Each structure stands twice: as structure tokens, then as C-alpha cells.
Structure 1
Amino acid sequence: METENSKSLTHPTQLISHSKAKELSANFVAQKSGKHVTSAGQEDANALWFSLEELEKFIEYIKTEGSNQGFTVDGVRIYLGVYSNNETVGRAGYTTMFMSATGRKVNSATPMSGGATSQDLTTVNPLNYGSMGNPPKMQYGI
């Protein structure tokens, strides 16, 4: 008998190892150190955090809102951005990442293959405002 805690788990196909993640993070810090600075001269963010609850809400939102607007939502595209110097205290000039729903109109003939032809659904609001932490700079696994 299968219980709630013993459900069969299907692993995502694009997982990377802890050591690969640590390498990627270290490379970013090493290559961007001193170059990755806000216009105010402060070291910029290189990591953002979103709660699992917020990510689950976002996925439910894009599926529902996309469907209501006649789209098949097939993924999420993550963009880098920079807050303007007029942003609220604590964010001005910092790097951010935001997530945009991707997909296509229902019954569209456009073939979908690995996200290559997925379009941003610009009528479905993106997710932003993850936490940069304090201080904003972090390195994976350290």
C-alpha cells in the first residue's frame, strides 16, 4: 500500500549534481567579482530565493491564467534584469531575476521542441521580487 510519504518519485531530467552547481556558482563569483557591482558601488546580488509556496502559486497562476486566455502553458523562462535607480530602498541598481510563463495558443500548429519555439506569454504577469538575502552576495554550497 502506497502512503503519502512513499509515492513513486520521477526525477526531473535536467538535474545537475551538487558539485556541478558549486562549480557554476564559484565560476560566476570568480568571473564577475569586482565587475558585478551596482551603480551605487555595492556588490550586486548573484542569487535570489523564492519560497516553495510562492513557486507553487506561480505555477498554478500561469496554468490557470494562461488557459483562461486560450494558451497552452509549457514552461517558464527566467530573465535577468536590473532595478532602476528609482526603485524602492534596498533594490535600486541590483540585479534581479524574473520568471515568465511560456507557451502557445491552444490548437496552434507551431511545433514545440524543448522550449525553442515557446513564446513568452506577455499577457500573463511574470513573477519577481525574490529575496536577495543579507548580504546580497552568496555562493552555492558555502
Structure 2
Amino acid sequence: MKNPPSKPNQLITKEFARQLNVNYNKKRASLATAKGQKEDANAIWYSLEELENYIHYIKTNGAKDGYNVDGIRFYFGVYPDDEKHGEKAGLTTLFLVPTGKKAQTDTAKIQSFAMAQESSSDIQSLEPMNYGNIGRPPSLSY
């Protein structure tokens, strides 16, 4: 490999990941049981191709809309209890929303250094991504 990737700072141990998953499964399962609901999703899977395509889409279209796309925010959601959502009705989902800052001209950068320091926000002009494959039932365990 010519330029191997650097190790991300956000990596966690497999043991800690397992503990996070166990905690989620225990808490979410007890909520669902208390409400008499069906077993909920506890994992969502997207293929690398889907993720790479979405990243390409948001970078390209974000730039067209005048944004410097700098990340993706992951939101948890719950499908409406509506038969049009089929087996997913009432279950947890995870959707992705691009984040970034409006691109500034050189003049605007000079005039407002403080604005350049503001945090990234969701880009409302680009569509979120949903519909990964969910891990249920039976629930997946990490």
C-alpha cells in the first residue's frame, strides 16, 4: 500500500462496543416489552457502495448548493405506526444527514472570522439517507 490510512482517533475496543450493544439491547428490549411492542431493530447495515455513493452525492450536490460538506450526522428515528411501512412500522431506524457550512467568499471570510468558527449544521437542501438493512428479529448481538 502506497499511503496506508491513518488509524482513526474514534476507535473503541471490541469489548466496549459489545458492552454498548448489550446496554442498548437491555434498555430498548425492556421498553418494548413494557409497551407490548414487537422486537425492535438493534443494528442497521449499509453497504460500502451505498455509503460511498451517498458521500459522493452530498459532496457534489452540497458544493452546487454552496456548502462545504464536512460530515454526516446519524439520527435515530422510529417509523410511524402505519401499515404503509409494513414490518418496519413502529420500529427504530437510523438515517444520515449531511453537515457542513455555507462556503464563504474571500471577502466574507475576512469580514467575519467568528462565523468561520461556528459549528457545522445540517444541510437542509440535501435529502437524508435511510433504509439500511435492520438487524431484527432475531436481534443481532455484537
What TM-score, normalized to structure 2?
Answer: 0.83
Per-residue CA deviation, residues 51-81 of structure 1 (Å, 9 max, x unaligned), is: 0110000111110010010000011101111
Q: Who is 2:80 aligned against?
A: 84
Could you tell me how far 1:33 is from its partner in structure 2?
Answer: 2.2
Amino acid at match of 1:130: G
5+ residue gaps, structure 2: none
Per-residue CA deviation, residues 96-125 of structure 1 (Å, 9 max, x unaligned), is: 010000011001652347xxx211001111
5+ residue gaps, structure 1: none
Judge conservation of contact 1:34–1:43 (CA < 8 Å) in 2: no
Could you tell me how far 1:93 is from its partner in structure 2?
Answer: 0.8
Summarize the Cα distance change of 1:16–1:7 in structure 2 as closer, same or farther, 3 Å threshold: same
Q: Who is 2:99 aligned against?
A: 102
Summarize the Cα distance change of 1:82–1:51 in structure 2 as closer, same or farther, 3 Å threshold: same
Helix, strand or coil at the partner of 1:34: helix
Matched, 1:49 2:45: yes
Identity %: 39
If each structure's helix is expressed as a fraction of its own residues, which one has the higher value?
A: 2
Summarize the Cα distance change of 1:72–1:34 in structure 2 as closer, same or farther, 3 Å threshold: same
Helix, strand or coil at the partner of 2:58: helix
Summarize the Cα distance change of 1:23–1:106 in structure 2 as closer, same or farther, 3 Å threshold: same
Rg (Cα) greater in structure: 2
Judge conservation of contact 2:42–2:140 (CA < 8 Å) in 1: yes
Amino acid at match of 1:94: L
Could you tell me how far 1:34 is from its partner in structure 2?
Answer: 2.1
Summarize the Cα distance change of 1:90–1:104 in structure 2 as closer, same or farther, 3 Å threshold: same
CA distance in 1, matches of 2:8, 2:31: 34
Helix, strand or coil at the partner of 2:89: coil
CA distance in 1, matches of 2:20, 2:2: 33
Give runs of aligned pairs for residues 59-70 of structure 1, distance below 5 A.
59-70=55-66
Could you tell me how far 1:133 is from its partner in structure 2?
Answer: 3.3
Query: Of the candidates 10, 17, 20, which is equivalent to residue 21 of structure 1?
Result: 17
Summarize the Cα distance change of 1:136–1:99 in structure 2 as closer, same or farther, 3 Å threshold: farther
Query: Of the candidates 31, 35, 51, which is equivalent to residue 27 of structure 2?
Result: 31
Matched, 1:12 2:8: yes
